[in-house]
């Protein structure tokens, strides 16, 4: 027996008012196990199961956000915030993958020294009209180097420098630009006048981050399987055409 009307959209199938629709007939994201299987090959072999699961959960969430864009008429500001959330989640996936690559390839940032005691501040003095002071610290060498937390910028630069993925060098400026948009999670960080989410994030960014994430996840270094459950990330031909035109237009303006 089928309880879901033939003309009911996927988004409608999960609405509370349609709770009479059987669970098996409602919209569901792609199974976690399918995403996990795509993260076990090539350079991704050895990634911790916890990180792999977190990436899979995030991919399910991205698929849900895409469902809203595909089937709901969204208020512009709400749409902008959904794009922001999409970027934050997608870049978190890329950061996790880059972190795994940097660590697994032996490029973990380390510290061989540690500060002992409190720093000593000297009296202030003036030099060339500028007030200054010295801060004296004592450091000691550690018996074994300690790992240092690596920020996303360091990870991007190291992945590019050591060619840990097969991405074209042209992709990395886009990754860094998306990273800056990801930092909009800090609402108080304003760089210039009118630097708001609504003014600073566009649908082109949504298309771009989908495309970049797809390229990263399907990178040759990960020996991606021929059959994939990640196709939903790939923008349509029309979206890619508009994105390419937008990028070229901005490049012409900069020149």
Please state, for a pLDDT cut of 70, what percent of the chain lies above it.
98
pLDDT tens-digit series, residues 213-242? 999 999 999 999 999 999 999 999 999 999
Tokens of 124: 């202030």
Nearest to 154 by CA among 98, 222, 113, 216: 98
In the structure, what pLDDT confidence band is assigned to residue 203 with cuts at 50, 70 and 90? very high
Distance CA 189, CA 206 (A): 21
Q: How many CB atoms lie within 10 A of CB 231?
A: 10
Strand ranges inside 122-156, DSSP E: 125-127, 130-132, 135-147
Average pLDDT of the segment spanning 91-99: 98
Cβ-proximal residues to 37 (8 Å cutoff; 6+ apart), any chain: 225
Instruction: Convert 124-145 to b/e letters by CB count within 10 Å (16 or more is b).
Output: eeeeeeeeeeeeeeeeeeeeee
In eight-state DSSP terms, residue 234 is: S
Largest Cα–Cα distance of the chain, in whole Å? 86
Full-prediction pTM beyond 0.85?
A: yes
Distance CA 52, CA 56 (A): 6
Residue 254 has pLDDT above 70, yes or no: no
Instruction: Please tell me the predicted confidence (pLDDT) of residue 252.
Output: 60
Specify which residues 146 forms β-bridges with. Answer: 111
Instruction: Please tell me the predicted confidence (pLDDT) of residue 1.
Output: 56
Q: How many CB atoms lie within 10 A of CB 209?
A: 27
Instruction: Please tell me the predicted confidence (pLDDT) of residue 74.
Output: 94
Residue 227 has φ and ψ, to the nearest 5°, of: -85, 130
Q: How many CB atoms lie within 10 A of CB 221?
A: 15
pLDDT tens-digit series, residues 150-197? 999 999 999 999 999 999 999 999 999 999 999 988 888 888 888 888
Instruction: Please tell me the predicted confidence (pLDDT) of residue 191.
Output: 85
Distance CA 56, CA 30 (A): 9
Q: How far is CA 93 from CA 146, 196, 210, 255, in A?
A: 25, 24, 12, 33
Average pLDDT of the segment spanning 77-102: 97
Report the residue count for the chain. 255
């Amino acid at each position: 027996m089928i309880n879901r009307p033939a003309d009911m959209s996927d988004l409608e199938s999960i609405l509370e008012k349609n709770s009479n629709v059987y669970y098996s007939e409602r919209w569901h994201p792609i199974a976690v196990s399918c995403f996990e299987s795509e993260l076990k090959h090539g350079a991704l072999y050895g990634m911790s199961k916890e990180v792999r699961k977190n990436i899979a959960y995030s991919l399910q969430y991205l698929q849900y956000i895409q469902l809203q864009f595909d089937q709901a008429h969204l208020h512009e500001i709400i749409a902008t915030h959904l794009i922001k959330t999409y970027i934050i989640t997608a870049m978190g996936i890329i950061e996790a993958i880059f972190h795994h690559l940097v660590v697994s390839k032996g490029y973990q940032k380390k510290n061989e020294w540690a500060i002992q005691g409190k720093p000593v501040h000297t009296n202030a003095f003036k030099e060339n009209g500028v007030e200054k002071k010295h801060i004296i610290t004592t450091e000691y060498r550690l018996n074994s180097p300690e790992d240092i937390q690596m920020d996303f910028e360091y990870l991007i630069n190291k992945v590019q420098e050591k060619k840990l993925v097969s991405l074209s060098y042209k992709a990395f400026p886009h990754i860094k630009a998306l990273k800056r948009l990801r930092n909009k999670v800090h609402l108080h960080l304003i760089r210039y006048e009118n630097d708001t989410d609504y003014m600073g994030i566009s649908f082109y960014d949504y298309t771009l981050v989908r495309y970049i994430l797809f390229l990263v996840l399907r990178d040759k270094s990960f020996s991606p399987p021929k059959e994939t459950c990640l196709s939903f990330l790939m923008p349509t031909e029309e979206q890619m055409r508009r994105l390419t035109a937008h990028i070229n237009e901005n490049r012409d303006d900069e020149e």
